[in-house]
Structure 1
Amino acid sequence: MGYGASLRRFWWPVPSWGAGEPVPSLCQPGSSRLGGCPCQGSRKMSGGTAHLLTVLFMVTVAVMGYPSRRSATDLDATPRTTVTFDELLGVRHFSAHTLNYSTLLLEDDRGILYVGARGAIFALNSSDVADGSHRTIHWEASPEKQMDCLQKGKNNKTECFNHVRFLQRLNSTHLYACGTYAFHPLCAAIDVNSFMLPSHFEEGKEKCPYDPARGYTGLIVDGGLYTATRYEFRSLPDIRRNLHQRPLKTEESPLHWLNDAEFVASVLVQESKDSPVGDDDKIYYFFMERAGEETTSFFDKSQVARVARVARVCKSDVGGKKILQRKWTSFMKARLVCYIPYYEVLRSVCSLDEGGWASTIFYAAFTLSAQWRTMEASAVCRYSISAVQHAFEGPYMEYQDSARKWSRYDGAVPEPRPGSCITDHSRRKGYNSSQDLPNSVLDFVKLHPLMFEEVKPAGGEPLLVKKSVAYSQLAVDRVRALDGRSYDVLFMGTGDGWIHKAVVLGSGIHIVEEMQVFREAQPVESLVISRTQRSLYVGAASGILQVPLASCTRYTSCYDCILARDPYCAWDGRACRATATTDSTGLVQDIQNGNDGCRSSSGRGSLLWKNRTVLQGDDVLLPCDQRSNLARAIWLLNGSEALGSGQDRLRVGVDGLLVTDTLPQHSGEYRCYGEERGLRMLLATYSLTVLPELPRGPTATPQPHTASQVSGDTKVAYISVIVTLVVLCAVLSTVLLYVSCLEKRKGKYVLGEPRPASVELQTISANCLRKGRREEEEEEKEGLTCPDGCLRIIPGEAPTAATSPVKELPAAVPPLPPPLPAELTNGVGALPNVLRKMNGNSYMLLQQQEEPLTSPLYSASFTEELSKILEKRKHTQLVEKLDESSV
């Protein structure tokens, strides 16, 4: 296979560096040449050099092992539906007068959700966090500690508080909590019955980080506190065990076992349960650290790469007797890879252990390093416990002083195997605890903490790669579907307050929906799943949310329910129901394919026909709202002809069909279908009628009808009316003149000089048909009206009834043309160019008013329709950058 054929298999988007564009973070002052480009900061490259760097990048990726058997489209899954904040169903919210609700402890059997926040601990009702029955412990940092924190130069708005970072069950009666306490960490055992702070606090410098922003993880296992962080000011990162008769920590010399580590998560795997070799339970730690070995980074080697790691220690480790006293003798670490060809940053890890520890799997979320600032992306990888064990059972690495780097160790390995737990095999040889291990084993452990083998993801590639998203937290649930299979459902929180709900299908992920759970953008800091309450608890800076695991009622048809492929939901013949709350008899569900089970060919019941009538040459919009982001709009004319954007005068967009400059042959019956996974669902039906264009006069006064258009009877009627009016005016004038003379004689009324009337009738051009509602409201305030769409009354100083002796006769005006049909509302008027560009190849079309307006010729306000659509879709992330020139 040649290079061209092999390079086409890679899924990751290649950076497009054009001529004259700076290379992001590739060249640094003082570094060596790269691809023939002398490093001079952000030097601009020629087109040839840019192309050369791109080819070099692809070849580097090919050689260093970032293959994929799937395309970028397969990996970059699109959420099927988008649920904005205002569309959420059944969500409950809790917040108090504090911030940072990030530490969660769910006790499902007790129905309590414990929350550690800034300066407070809450006990919430897990069935309804917003019912007001919560209990509160106020745990603020003392003024003295806050002043001391300020004197150290810390931030008095974020750092000089007591941020509760650890909250776990200590025993049957107490919780154990630790807080930063204004850079003076403290811990406390809290009685769950009284739910009050104790009178005595414990020093927290070896149990809790001083800095609220530091990576931290902790577990209580059999009464022992296993934590990992940077504990004290200017101290090194460490994995420690406290609250135990034999406290332990990691080794610091001559080699640091941890190199500027930032911890993400820790997981207990009970490998002693039903172990055939008498193994021990292990605690696995996931973290980021600076790499000491050769890396496969494409970037300049002068930049120190940070890599993801997984480390483990044995629960029964008690340290060495003479060597590694009070230190771990079982510490080992290995590289964790997700095969993103740039820097990988580990953000979150969650695990599942149902069916025994041997089936334990880990899900990990990664993002791109900040050193690659030109793009944002996330990846989710899955790892098996067997893959982690394989790495720890492989060859070791050794630090070479001469080369100052880690390389593979190929020398002799002492017995029992360094870094392993005490097993039945070790006990048979007389090694009953780690203190019985020979010095040769402990010396080897001291100098060889890093493993050569990497921990590779299942299938050798990510389950998901999502561009323009930064995942911050993961939670996973395992659901048994109606087909008898168990599916893993992932809830992925983002850095801007959204939750992606996805189901793992084989080697890929189907994102069921994306939900905007916070109106104000903020990172999702913690996620906890309650199977009892069927709820997802979301912790963030502003509060706690309780979100249902599924909102099945959102799916209004059988096709909606089946196509969603939501393991929590199924169709019962009339509605979409939650599978856990309903007898499974008669329920329909298709998680694997998402297209089987609906008997109706249309997918939805009969829809009302909507009539549209327009003049020839006008534009008409036929809305068709696609609820699914994965559906494709299919338009049929008169039941057979497929319509598309490639046809003249037709524009198919995500919201409907726009017909521009209509012709009589555009008349007919239009049907809109949503096509997804081979299924078609009828969404809208229209009957369009295109009328011949009516004449519109350009003069300022109404044009009289020609002689051929006015019959002789009409002329006679006009003459009769005029003669009658003249006679009446003469009689009235005589009467008024007589009355005025009588009044003048009495001295009570003087007839003044008549003032000319200034009421003027003007003809409005056809542009008045295009006026928006806002203009008409302004004119109504000023006294201007346009009752028939063609006349405007301009007020003047007309004489009052008391001062006008003679009322002017109205001019003879020919009758207006008959009004057009009431359905002459095309929704777009004469502005076909006011469209929003969508994803480079389609349009967001504007909604159209369904109800007839007061004037049959009135066109809906384009500004109002545009505002409604933009408000509806501004959070859907379908438009990355709006084309302002089109407005």
Structure 2
Amino acid sequence: MSPIMMTSAGVILMLTPVLCLLSGFSWAATLGGQEREYNLQDVILDPKRFGGVTNFSTFLLDPSSGLLFLGARDAILSVDTNQLDKPARNIMWDVPMEKRRSCVAKGKTEVDCHNYVRLMEFLEEGRVYVCGTYAFDPQCAFMDVTSFTLEKNEDGGVKMETGKGKCPFEPSQHYTAVMAGGILYTAATSNFLGTLFDISRASGPEQERIRTERSINWLSDPEFVSSAFIEQSPGNNPNGDDDKIYFFFTEVAKEYDLYTKVKVPRVARVCKSDVGGMKTLQRRWTTFLKAQLVCEDKPSSQRYNILTDVFTIRHTQGDPGSTHFYGLFTSQWENEEMSAVCVFSLSDISKVMDGPFKELKKTCDNWINPEPVPAPRPGQCLNHVLKSEGFESSLKLPDKVLTFVRDHPLMENSVSAAPLLVRKGVTYSKLAVTLMDSGIAVLHLGTGRGELHQVEVVGQNATILQEIPLFPSQEPVNNILLHKGEALVGSPLSLARVRAEGCSLYPTCELCARARRLGCEWSRKENACRTTGTRPGPDDTIEQALRTCDIKEGRCSPITRELQVSMGLRLLLPCVQLSPRSCSWEHPPHRYTKQHHSDLEVTVTEESLGEYVCICQVCY
């Protein structure tokens, strides 16, 4: 152990936070206190590079050209991700002064009465559909990618159409949208006051623009998070099942009769060919079903009930059925910062949507399974069987089926998963996932303090690879896009490009050794992890690679942090916790400590000087 030293600056306290291999537990390690070594390929563009344009809220990437479009306040920017040293191109799309004054007169702030571009989606023939809040009067326009201009009217002004139902009114409102077969599906507020909420088909033929029923049983004060279009594979769809759109959100639960408002995460599903009912549910979804998502560590009974982001990815290319949804959660009941990641499979969601319905009987306040369920099954998507029975369209469905689905949108069962990762003391704001061929997942997690954390997940074991400070602490990460092995990370003011794949993610010898199956090898000469170019042989094991790292048996080898302290100081020593399992501290024997979850409060005295080691159990 390192000795304690006295200096003129005060006392130095040796702090070694460790997440280690314990008997019966799998390995994982933190890099507590390690300084970031920036990769030469990492680039950070600060606000000065964007000519005063701010409030970047939306990313849209053209993978073929590498052009990244950024929706901002009163502007759209274009950045070439292959040449970030080139100046960004700029389209101004602001609000006339008279309209801004009118917005302020209605009680809104001057800051909010601008045009915040919240939606950008590709259309056909090199066009992009863009929508902005436009001083609380949402408007949409068409952008030509080649010329990087907005289409104009005959009078030279921007050609616009209403964005109500397509784009939020307010810049900070929760919102999501997805394009499916050239048709826009959105989940957003639909009025000036922000009190009405819709999940809708927002474009296409007017008679097919349908939305949710205005009922708290359908949507109860929701905060929309994400959406995904799951298109059936033409070659692997023997039942002729319809394509589906999934929406993820947090809402106030109506099934719990408690004194406080309980928030629950939900997944909702609608079918692409749904055009509403003939009489009942006219111009409303006939296939809207929703289920609760449960992200819970059962041994500790810790449940994370606020959904903040979802990343959709296929585990097998070309197989829509292998789609998984990685959800980022926090807890309504915790006072401290906390984040968790749970992953839900499409197959598990489908099983719940095909299961029993939940019903509230008006004669009592208990939720029970309703009986009987009419045929054909309410909320079912069209397929070959339904069409053969004469139901070629949702307009043909009987009223009893439509009445049932109108009154029973919630499923009885929940979609449950255990956390892959838990972090206390950190609030994650954005998530993206890279899958390796060897079954490894790398989570790219943006924080509310402008950092990017990269975490490797193997089975149920999580390992922090890097914690990268990118932006000032007042700039939360609000966008992460993955492209060609890199992560494009955005804040409201800045943009960064960071490596998202490859051996350079593993900055220590131990981590590099455990990435041996990826073809990584530690170079003592360069003091870095490098790609070997050759696949590991049968005798080329992780254990063999670890022997070159001089690691103590049964322990990790983190960097030791030295903290300068003064006598009488009370401080909180952080311990990076990746799982719900408990953490314990090893420290000099004295009574001036108190543990707060995984962190340790220490009062500095002569007796309390020494080395502090945090050890956490990590597997389930």
> How far did 1:572 drift?
7.1
Q: How does 1:466-481 map to 2 (within 5 A)?
A: 466-480=423-437
Letter in 2 for 1:229: A
Contact 2:510 2:549 survives alignment (8 Å): no
Q: Distance in 2 between matches of 1:589 and 1:236?
A: 63
Q: Structure 1 residue 219 and structure 2 residue 203: aligned?
A: no
For the 8 Å contact 1:79–1:500, the answer to whether it is kept is no
**Alpha-carbon displacement from aligned partner over 1:54-81 (angstroms, at most 9, x marks no partner):** xxxxxxxxxxxxxxxx99x979976336
Pairing 1:597–2:524 present: no
User: Deviation digits for residues 122-157 of structure 1, max 9, x if unmatched?
Assistant: 11112233x124321111222122212211222223
State the partner residue of 1:247: 209
Residue 333 of structure 1 is matched in structure 2 by: 290
Other-structure match for 1:368: 331
Aligned length: 543
Q: Do structure 1's residue 583 and structure 2's residue 533 form an aligned pair?
A: yes
Contact 1:82–1:515 under 8 Å retained in 2: no
2:231 maps to which of 248, 266, 270: 270
Question: What is the aligned counterpart of 1:164 among 102, 110, 117?
Answer: 117
Task: Give ranges in structure 2 of 5+ residues lacking alignment.
Answer: 1-20, 153-158, 575-584, 589-597, 610-620
* Aligned position for 1:202: 161
- 1:190 alignment partner, SS class: strand
Could you tell me which residue of structure 2 aligns to residue 90 of structure 1?
41
Amino acid at match of 1:415: A
For residue 442 of structure 1, report the CA deviation from its aligned partner. 1.0
Distance in 2 between residues matched to 1:136 and 1:384, nearest whole Å: 40
Give the aligned partner of residue 398 of structure 2.
438
Deviation at residue 519 of structure 1 after TM alignment: 3.4
2:109 & 2:515 partners in 1: Cα distance?
A: 47
1:135 to 89, 109, 112: 89
- Once residues 249 and 75 of structure 2 are traced to their aligned partners in structure 1, the CA distance between those partners, rounded to angstroms, is 28
**Aligned equivalent of 1:324, options 260, 264, 281:** 281
Residue 276 of structure 1 aligns to a residue in which SS?
coil
- Which residue identity is paired with 1:454? S
Inter-CA distance 554–335: structure 2 relative to 1 (3 Å threshold)? closer
Deviation sequence 1:846-874 (CA, Å, 0-9, x none):
xxxxxxxxxxxxxxxxxxxxxxxxxxxxx
SS at match of 1:175: strand
* 1:279 and 2:227 aligned: no
Between structure 1 and structure 2, the one with the greater Rg is: 1
**1:352 is aligned with what amino acid?**
I
Structure number with the higher strand fraction is 2
Q: Which residue of structure 2 lines up, in the alignment, with residue 233 of structure 1?
A: 192
Matched residue SS, 1:149: helix
CA distance in 2, matches of 1:343, 1:577: 36
Give the Å deviation of 1:509: 2.0
Please report how far the alpha carbon of residue 561 of structure 1 lies from its aligned counterpart in structure 2 after TM superposition: 2.3
Q: CA deviation at 1:332?
A: 0.2
Secondary structure (helix, strand or coil) at the match of 1:387 reads: helix
Cα distance between partner residues in 1 of 2:37 and 2:549: 32
- Give 1:186 shift: 0.8
**Paired residue for 2:612?**
none
Task: Render the CA deviation track for 1:393-445: whole Å, top value 9, x for unaligned.
Answer: 1110123234456x122311111111010011111111111111111111111
2:3 counterpart residue number = none
Say which SS state the counterpart of residue 545 (structure 2) adopts: coil
Other structure's SS at 1:100 match: coil
SS in structure 1 at match of 2:149: coil
Determine the C-alpha separation between the residues in 2 that align with 1:515 and 1:423: 48
Deviates more, 1:436-445 or 1:543-552: 543-552
Q: For the residues of structure 2 that align with 1:566 and 1:655, how far apart are their CA atoms? A: 34
1:564 to 1:542, Cα distance in 2 relative to 1, 3 A: farther
Say whether 1:105 aligns with 2:68: no
What residue is the counterpart of 1:631 in the other structure? Answer: 557
Q: Does the 8 Å CA contact 2:274/2:394 hold for their aligned counterparts?
A: yes
SS of structure 2 residue aligned to 1:346: strand
1:637: which partner in 2?
A: none
Structure 1 pair 380–435 and aligned structure 2 pair: CA distance change class (3 A): same
Alignment pair present for 1:543 and 2:506: no
Question: 1:217 and 1:632, CA in 2 relative to 1: closer, same or farther beyond 3 A?
Answer: closer
Instruction: Provide the secondary structure at the position in 2 that maps to 1:444.
Output: helix
Distance 1:882 1:140 in 2: 53
Amino acid at match of 1:145: K
Higher RCO structure (Cα 8 Å, ≥6 apart):
2
Amino acid at match of 2:347: S
CA distance in 1 between partners of 2:224 and 2:505 (Å): 39
Q: 1:74 to 1:128 in 2, by over 3 A?
A: farther
Summarize the alignment of residues 34-183 of structure 1 with structure 2, pairs less than 5 Å apart. 79-80=30-31, 84=35, 87=38, 89-94=40-45, 95=47, 96=50, 97-129=52-84, 131-157=85-111, 159-183=112-136
**Residue 589 (structure 1) shift:** 12
Q: CA RMSD in A?
A: 3.5
Residue of structure 2 equivalent to 1:562: 513
1:291 aligned to which of 221, 236, 253: 253
Q: For 2:520 and 2:161, how far apart are their aligned partners in 1? A: 48
- Counterpart of 2:351, as a letter, is H
Deviation at 1:507, TM superposition (A): 2.3
Tell me which residue corresponds to 1:50.
none
Residue 717 of structure 1 aligns with which residue? none
- Structure 1 SS opposite 2:340: strand
* Deviation, structure 1 residue 555: 6.3
Distance 1:474 1:588, change over 3 A: farther
Distance apart, 1:91 and its partner CA: 2.2
Equivalent position SS for 1:330: coil
Closer/same/farther in 2, CA of residues 555 and 251 from structure 1, 3 Å limit: closer
What is the deviation of 1:347?
Answer: 0.7
Q: Deviation of residue 82 (structure 1)?
A: 5.4
Distance 1:600 1:499 in 2: 29
Residues of 1 paired with 2:281 and 2:371: CA distance? 22
Q: Deviations over 1:826-851 (max 9, x none)?
A: xx9xx9999999566559xxxxxxxx
> Offset at 1:311?
0.2
Q: Which amino acid aligns with 1:442?
A: L
Distance across 2 between alignment mates of 1:372 and 1:154: 32
Per-residue deviation at 1:241?
0.7
The yes-or-no answer on 1:451 pairing with 2:414 is no
Q: Aligned runs of 1:479-490 on 2, under 5 Å?
A: 479-480=436-437, 485-490=438-443
- Aligned pair in 2 of structure 1 residues 194, 837: CA closer, same or farther (>3 Å)? closer
The normalised TM-score by structure 1 is 0.56
SS at match of 1:361: strand
> Which residue of structure 2 aligns with residue 304 of structure 1?
261
CA distance in structure 1 between the partners assigned to 2:587 and 2:538 by the alignment: 35
Contact kept, 8 Å, 2:249 with 2:267, in 1: the verdict is yes
Q: Secondary structure at the match of 1:427?
A: helix
Change in 2 beyond 3 A, CA 1:103/1:881: farther
Q: 1:883: Cα distance to partner?
A: 5.3
Structure 2 length-normalised TM: 0.79
Who is 1:414 aligned against? Answer: 374
CA contact (8 A) 2:466 2:507 kept: no
User: Equivalents in 1 of 2:61, 2:204: separation in Å?
Assistant: 24
Give the deviation of 1:87 after TM superposition: 4.8
> Would you say the 8 A contact 1:570–1:587 is kept in 2?
no
CA displacement at 1:453 relative to structure 2:
0.5
How many Å apart are 1:529 and its aligned residue?
0.5
Match runs of 1:563-712 below 5 Å: 563=514, 567=518, 569-571=520-522, 576=528, 579=531, 583-584=533-534, 595-597=543-545, 600=548, 602=550, 630-631=556-557
Alpha carbons 1:176, 1:189 under 8 Å: kept: yes
CA separation of 1:570 and 1:313: change in aligned 2, threshold 3 A:
farther
Contact 1:75/1:466 (8 A) holds in 2: no
- TM-superposition CA deviations, 1:623-651 (whole Å, max 9, x none): xxx9xx94269xxxxxxxxxxxxxxxxxx
The answer to whether structure 1 residue 494 and structure 2 residue 447 are counterparts is: yes
